[in-house]
Structures are given as structure tokens and as C-alpha cells.
Amino acid sequence: MDYETAEQKVKLFLAKEGKFFTRERKKILQEVIKTGDHFSADEMLLQMKSDNVDVSRATLYRALAQLVQAGVLSEADFGHGHAHYEVADEEEGNHGHIICKKCNKVVEIRDPELASLFSRLCAREGFEVDSFQLQLFGHCSDCK
């Protein structure tokens, strides 16, 4: 997702909630979009520090939660004891991850079959699904 698209989404969301697009939120959004990868709150703080962008931990956490709500970020748990974020897919459902238990490498899994299989399974249970989290744990080619 490019910065412009993201900013539109965020502004729309904030406006709807009666909130402001402050300079801190903008700085955070820029840093977040700049990252092409998964990141934790701490990693983002480090990146910001190295870019001389100064925002408090509390503000970052508050902003990340908003970005998730705004649909700009998605959140995942790789079993490492803290949340991971990544820029959300622009269209349709999100994607899964394969995590190497040895070296912690993370690879994204995208396949149209995923969404279609999931919605079939959910319909069977009478659920209406709007997102999923899929983590596959194993060993990558280097570690097995």
C-alpha cells in the first residue's frame, strides 16, 4: 500500500471517530509504510530512533492500534511473546505465514484457495468471517 492510499484511509477513519491527524500520527504512518516487512512495536521504535523520529512508546502503541482499526495494518502473533504488525493487503482477505522454528524466518503465504476454503468452512458453521490468521510452524530449507 502506498503512502497516499494509507493516509486517505487513516484520515477517513480518524475523522469518523472525531480524532485528529496529528504530526506524531503522520510520522508514525510514514515510518510504518516505509517498512516493507513485519515488525514489532520495539523494532519500530528502533527504526524510528535510527531515523531520528522521536515518538513516545505510548503514542506508538496508541497509533498502531488505530492503524489496525483503520485497516492499514494487520496484527499477527508468531508465538514470540509480542505482537507483529505488517501493512495490510489492499484487496480481499489477508495472508498467512510460515515460521521457521529454528531460525525464526517468516515467509508469507498467499493463495486464492485459502480464502475460498475458509469461507466454505465458515459458512458450514453459520459464521460470517471477515479476517483470519494462519501460522504454519516448521523448518525452512536451510534448517531442516
Partner DNA sequence: ATATCTGCAAATTGTTTGCTGACGA
Partner DNA sequence: TCGTCAGCAAACAATTTGCAGATAT
- Select from 7-15, 32-40, 84-92, 135-143 the region that touches a second copy (CB under 8 A): 135-143
In the list a second copy, DNA, none, the entry touching 81 (Cβ below 5 to 8 angstroms by class) is DNA
* 132 belongs to the binding site for a second copy (CB under 8 A): yes
| CA atoms of 109 and 77, how far apart (whole Å) | 15
Q: How many residues bind a second copy (CB under 8 A)?
A: 33
Task: Candidates 55, 67, 88, 106: give the one binding DNA (CB under 7 A).
Answer: 55
* 103 belongs to the binding site for a second copy (CB under 8 A): no
In the list DNA, a second copy, none, the entry touching 51 (Cβ below 5 to 8 angstroms by class) is none
| CA atoms of 9 and 131, how far apart (whole Å) | 18
Q: How far is the CB of 107 from DNA (least distance, A)?
A: 21
C-alpha angle 50/51/57, rounded to 5°?
75
- Using alpha carbons, list the distances in angstroms from residue 122 to 11, 125, 134: 33, 5, 15
Residue 1, C-beta contacts closer than 8 angstroms, at least 6 positions apart: 33, 72, 87, 88, 90
| CA atoms of 131 and 50, how far apart (whole Å) | 33
Q: How far is the CB of 12 from a second copy (least distance, A)?
A: 21
Chain residues binding a second copy by CB under 8 A are 75, 77, 79, 96, 98, 100, 107, 109, 111, 113-114, 117-118, 121-122, 125-141, 144
